Structure 1
Amino acid sequence: MNTSKMREPKIIFLTGVLGSGKTTMMDLLLEDAQFEKVCSVTTRKPREGEVSGDHYVFVSIPEFESLIDDKKMLEYAFVHQIAYYGTRIDRLQDALHRGKSPVKTIDMVGMDIIEKKDKLSGQYVCIFIDIPEDIMKQRILNRQPDMNKIELQQRLDSAEMERRIAHRLNHCIVVDGSGTIAEVFSHIKLLLKDL
């Protein structure tokens, strides 16, 4: 991949509604050596095929709480009263010190916390990938054809809340993700080049 270099390394947070292509866009960015993946830290158990440090960094609850106490977490949440998820600030800073732009997928609640804390001094950009509801429904049902109507509606309602947050944040750029993978990625590359 031939991505023009950004002016200086910045933290890239990729977010968006379910089925918008966040992971695909991150994988494409990571083909360029100027970008480096940063995984979320979680206390949930690994699913089949997941490798710590590749998909997530899996830790125990006491280890996660120690990271919180030591102020190493940029943002975190206890999700569904089941497990912690969060972002280590030192992992982002380490990549920047190596001259890399760290790339991380994140949900909009985490992004909202990051902007409110303002610990990154404008060293980041959030790219929110949005798709129309009909495309989102189709992609969700292609992935999970047995999803019931209530769960599907919950996902759609959640997407609407995420859109509201994205439009309110200062450092968030909304990208139309309804085009082809190549079109969406080309748009994101152009945005990053101008940073």
Structure 2
Amino acid sequence: MSAKLFVLAGPTAVGKGTVAAAMRDEHPEIYLSVSATTRSPRPGEVDGVHYHFVSTEEFDRLVAEGQMLEWAVVHGVNRYGTPRGPVQEALDAGRPALLEIDLQGARQVRESMPEAVFVFLKPPSWDELVRRLVGRGTEGEEERERRLATAREELAAEAEFDVTIVNREVHAAVEDLVTLMVDSSSRP
């Protein structure tokens, strides 16, 4: 039985980062990839834990050297990507691995690693998604509107995924994801 790669994606503000952080805290046996990004840290984010915050030049180097499993420009502004090496090391060591990424990145991973299990994290409703985005208070009005426009497109991609988990409550979503990962990893 070999370890499997799981890809968690969904619309902006659905709680992907919150679910992934809870997964990291509650299930350290599962490898959680740390993405690289060119955006500035939000309050409380720690380099190397939440993201690898890199310059545009460093990101360009990683892409040029083929060191990114996937990467994308998100919300038309910043780039995010998954360093390939640590993910492959975890899988080779027999640990299930989880990528928490955006829709563009998930599509790239599907091209390069179609054997991965693709999980769509969905909000309980559109109104709840808007409430979460506004409630976190990390974006200005213009950025919020851009993210909501992106979220509408991202929600329409649900059918591209293998499984959908509704994020009504963080710990329930984590347990649904862990159950899926354990069940899927026990199958050949």
Structure number, greater radius of gyration: 1
Gaps of 5+ in 1: 1-6
**Percent of pairs identical after alignment?**
29
1:19 to 13, 38, 46: 13
Equivalent runs, 1:1-195 vs 2, <5 Å = 8-30=2-24, 31-47=26-42, 49-79=44-74, 82-115=77-110, 118-122=111-115, 124-131=116-123, 132-144=125-137, 148=141, 152-169=144-161, 172-178=162-168, 180-195=169-184
Unaligned runs of 5+ in 2: none
Local SS of the residue matching 1:66: helix
For 1:145 and 1:47, locate their aligned partners in 2 and report how far apart those are by CA, in whole Å: 7
| CA deviation after TM superposition for structure 1 residue 175, in Å | 1.4
TM-score, normalised to structure 1, is 0.77
**Distance in 2 between residues matched to 1:145 and 1:73, nearest whole Å:** 27
| TM-score, with structure 2 as normaliser | 0.80
Distance in 2 separating the partners of 1:146 and 1:28: 23
Q: Shift of the alpha carbon at 1:33?
A: 3.3
Partner of 1:3 in structure 2? none
The total of aligned residue pairs comes to 182
Would the alpha carbon gap of residues 158 and 85 (structure 1) be closer, same or farther in structure 2, given more than 3 Å must change? same
Q: Report the aligned-residue RMSD.
A: 2.7
The Cα shift of 1:146 comes to 8.7
